[in-house]
Structure 1
Amino acid sequence: MRNELLKPARERAADDKSPFLSPGLALDAERLLEEVLRFDGAADVTVSHFFRERPTYGHRVRGLIAEAVYTALRRRAEFSHYAVSGVNRFERRLLLLALRANGVSLDGLQTEGEIAWFEHLKKLTPDTLPPAVRANLPEWLWERLSARLGADETLALAAALDAPAALDLRVNRLESDRDTVIAQLAKAGPQYAPKPTPFAPDGIRLAGKPDLARLPLFEHGVIEVQDEGSQLLAQLLAPKRGEMVVDFCAGAGGKTLALGALMRGTGRLYAFDINEKRLAKAKARIAKSKLQNVQVVTLANESDLRVKRLAGKIDRVLVDAPCSGLGTLRRNPDLKWRQTPESVAEMNVKQRAILASASRLVKPGGRLVYATCSLLTEENETIADEFLAAHPEFVRLDAPALLRAQHIALPEDGSPFLRLWPHVHGTDGFFAAAFERKPAEKRADPPAAAEPAADE
């Protein structure tokens, strides 16, 4: 089978609109890719800094360069395998492969040696690549996923993770409803092409990635960017009006906003996190959403005194725990190269401690949801099972059944956990386990005193 992924882009006729980069811009892109591949920090931060230093770049150039860099990250294993036979600098080889795969014309960029190299690559077949290379996964991650899912399904999962994520929105129930917003977006322009998300009742999926920054719906807090899977975690917690609710690892506040909308702005909603900078972003988003029931609290650690003061008083607690993030590879492809078995093991220690601490907040009859955006059993089912074994005061709930009760029907695997997979559900990869603290046992009334005998 011919290597279709590496076939030449269309030759540009006089009226052809095939995208292309000038040699100077391509050199800049090569330098950016080299910097990203050092893995000194998150790729999105590096890319954003790169563009801030080049304010003259237009939207088209930014898009071409960013997509090339992210494609090179997504397919790093595969492209590195092909690059062995290439010429010129390694980063340049990866960049040319990424541009070609994205349909960008290489006219005026290729040397004669590079043209010959691409002709050689056209004869190769992807089926002959080692499985981990075909999947564009590090060997350790391939081994863990394929042992669980099998080789064929892991390849399907990997292909979904290598595709860019769709742009999902959540409609703020306090401001509007999904049908109204879809109609408004459709009227705003063909670039939005909005459709309802398959599962989340407030979700909208856009066809492309249009700029939302100046869209009135976004400026006024009617819509928020949030993956459908993340929206479903809020639905699983299912907070009610007037309740006391805690988002224990609130971060930048995406799930906090979803929870507040479900509560219709009533009750009390605490947004906890130890990262003050991320909570600062949450404050701005909360203000825009017009929620009045949110209290943002920066914790020193998971055992902060403010957590102890609320022990046993909270109706519902969401623990979206820090994790490897391997379920978000569609958006953060660098994570699969930055994470290691050792870093995952370090995460496990934090996850156990955070879940145990957060559980103390839950009152009798209250609900606790533990969630991650990871694909790994050791961050998900293992942590949930260990927690239940160590905390007999909790019982496990059937997470899919809780969603079905809200008319949210997902493809299920028969487990009591919520498992969202990019290749099955079209969302980021998520896991969630739901628990309930057992109701307090009623104290038995003391036995009544015996009636004295008639002859006493």
Structure 2
Amino acid sequence: MHPPVLNDLGATLMARVLTFEHPADATVAQFFREHPKLGARDRHLLSDQVFHALRALPLPGWLEQALRSEVGAGYEALVAALGQPAPLDLRVNGLKAKRPAVRQQLLAAGVEAADTPYSPWGLRLQGKPSLRAVPAYRDGLVEVQDEGSQLLALLVEPKRHDTVVDFCAGAGGKTLALGALMRNQGRLYAFDTSAHRLEALKPRLARSGITDLQTMVLAHERDERLQRLAGKVDRVLVDAPCSGLGTLRRSPDLKARRKPQDVAAFSDLQARILAAAARLVKPGGRLVYATCSLLRQENEQMAEAFSAAHRDFVPLDAAERLAHAGVAKADTLCRSGYLRLWPHLHQTDGFFAALWQRRP
């Protein structure tokens, strides 16, 4: 397409994105549907321009203040990291292959990858190659998943023959990681309030080789159908709805779209979901609470409030459990017993996790 025409389209797209009425990726996708004559190269160029401009937007005052209180002198390094595109990480599917062999298969297909520094499953790719035609991806040997997200599944530590619930499964990346750990032996449930998100799990599930998964669309966190699992589940993961500010490398428009009142609303929802999920945990079972937020209000404060209100749940040390699960340098990933991942320190999305064992 001629440069002047492409420039005009870029300006039109940018103006639409900057209304912040919808997530930037959704706005870009809709724009491309409206302009089907755009080639792959032009789409890539326009998309890159949009997200580069969004990453350059300043952090709003309320968010800057909150993040400075979290990281202190590390604030500028954090902002610099959030201004960079996120790398493309893969999780090797342990049901089908081992990491060294998959790394070699990818290289044979022209895809360069290096082991991730922490997750024993992870591979970090050079660049952003298209994976659809890559045999290792097509055959379910790998799944796209940020290294930080992989570590959340390792904190759950499901055993074979366990009953495991992913309470807020979304599109199921962590669900599939849990299923691989369980080796198709046990009962695995994926719950979400969005049928659309659970539907997106189906093609990934088909590639994965996991056969023991049951999905359920919940009306809300107190859906009466949950009662049949009350006190019967070995492991419950709550990757709670949150501000998503740990994903600013991928969704830089969240800087402008999120407001302090949104964080308060998410905190209320998180408390309700965590309390509802805790009812499913059997005596001696484990509960893991996680977010992709950078904010204490959604993270440590939520975990501390839960611990205070649920004395039958004993906090577990995240570094100890990660080390037991084979994670390298686990102590560098944790703070005060919690998993705390930062883009500028760990090259992952921002993640938090707390975990408890229910008293026998």
- Relative to the length of structure 1, the TM-score reads 0.77
Equivalent-residue separation in structure 2 for 1:412 and 1:420 (angstroms): 6
Equivalent-residue separation in structure 2 for 1:187 and 1:259 (angstroms): 28
- Say whether 1:38 aligns with 2:14: no
**Which one has a larger percent strand, Structure 1 or Structure 2?**
2
* Alpha-carbon distance, 1:55 to partner: 2.8
* Alpha-carbon distance, 1:414 to partner: 4.3
For the Cα contact (< 8 Å) 1:321–1:372, is it kept in 2? yes
Equivalent-residue separation in structure 2 for 1:429 and 1:393 (angstroms): 29
* Alpha-carbon distance, 1:288 to partner: 2.2
Which whole-Å deviations, capped at 9, do the CAs of 1:270-293 have from their partners, x for residues lacking one? 000110110111123212212111
- Say whether 1:430 aligns with 2:351: yes
Equivalent-residue separation in structure 1 for 2:334 and 2:273 (angstroms): 27
Equivalent-residue separation in structure 2 for 1:48 and 1:406 (angstroms): 39
- Say whether 1:278 aligns with 2:200: no
* Alpha-carbon distance, 1:265 to partner: 1.3
- What residue in structure 2 maps to residue 115 of structure 1? none
Unaligned 5+ runs, structure 2: none
- Say whether 1:156 aligns with 2:77: yes
1:201-240 equivalences in 2 (<5 Å): 201-240=120-159
- Say whether 1:323 aligns with 2:242: yes
- Which among 291, 304, 311 is matched to residue 385 of structure 1? 304
1:39-438 equivalences in 2 (<5 Å): 39-76=20-57, 136-150=58-72, 152-189=73-110, 192-408=111-327, 409-410=329-330, 411-412=332-333, 414-438=335-359
Equivalent-residue separation in structure 2 for 1:327 and 1:265 (angstroms): 31
* Alpha-carbon distance, 1:224 to partner: 0.8
3-state secondary structure, aligned to 2:200? helix
> 4+ residue runs of structure 1 moved beyond 3 angstroms?
none
Which whole-Å deviations, capped at 9, do the CAs of 1:33-90 have from their partners, x for residues lacking one? 10011111111111112122333323322221111100111112xxxxxxxxxxxxxx
For the Cα contact (< 8 Å) 1:21–1:61, is it kept in 2? no
Structure with greater Cα Rg: 1
3-state secondary structure, aligned to 1:198? coil
* Alpha-carbon distance, 1:305 to partner: 1.4
3-state secondary structure, aligned to 1:69? helix
Equivalent-residue separation in structure 2 for 1:285 and 1:23 (angstroms): 40
Equivalent-residue separation in structure 2 for 1:372 and 1:413 (angstroms): 14
* Alpha-carbon distance, 1:156 to partner: 0.7
Equivalent-residue separation in structure 2 for 1:403 and 1:300 (angstroms): 33
Which whole-Å deviations, capped at 9, do the CAs of 1:331-371 have from their partners, x for residues lacking one? 00011110010011000110000000000000011000000
Equivalent-residue separation in structure 1 for 2:189 and 2:47 (angstroms): 36
RMSD over equivalenced CA pairs, Å: 1.2
* Alpha-carbon distance, 1:412 to partner: 4.2
Work out the number of aligned pairs and report it: 358
* Alpha-carbon distance, 1:218 to partner: 1.6
The 10-residue stretch of structure 1 (267-276 or 55-64) with the greater mean CA deviation from structure 2:
55-64
The 10-residue stretch of structure 1 (287-296 or 318-327) with the greater mean CA deviation from structure 2:
287-296
Equivalent-residue separation in structure 2 for 1:65 and 1:21 (angstroms): 13
For the Cα contact (< 8 Å) 2:91–2:145, is it kept in 1? yes
The share of aligned pairs that are identical, in percent, is 55
Unaligned 5+ runs, structure 1: 1-19, 77-135, 440-456
Which whole-Å deviations, capped at 9, do the CAs of 1:120-161 have from their partners, x for residues lacking one? xxxxxxxxxxxxxxxx211100011112221x3111111101
For the Cα contact (< 8 Å) 1:170–1:203, is it kept in 2? yes
What is the identity, as a one-letter code, of the residue corresponding to 2:3? S
For the Cα contact (< 8 Å) 1:283–1:296, is it kept in 2? no
For the Cα contact (< 8 Å) 2:317–2:337, is it kept in 1? yes
Equivalent-residue separation in structure 1 for 2:36 and 2:100 (angstroms): 38
User: Larger relative CO (CA 8 A, sep 6+): 1 or 2?
Assistant: 2
* Alpha-carbon distance, 1:328 to partner: 0.3
3-state secondary structure, aligned to 1:174? coil
* Alpha-carbon distance, 1:405 to partner: 1.3
3-state secondary structure, aligned to 1:230? helix
Which whole-Å deviations, capped at 9, do the CAs of 1:300-333 have from their partners, x for residues lacking one? 1111112111000000000000000000000000
User: Judging changes above 3 Å, is the alpha-carbon distance between structure 1 residues 371 and 66 closer, same or farther for their aligned structure 2 residues?
Assistant: same
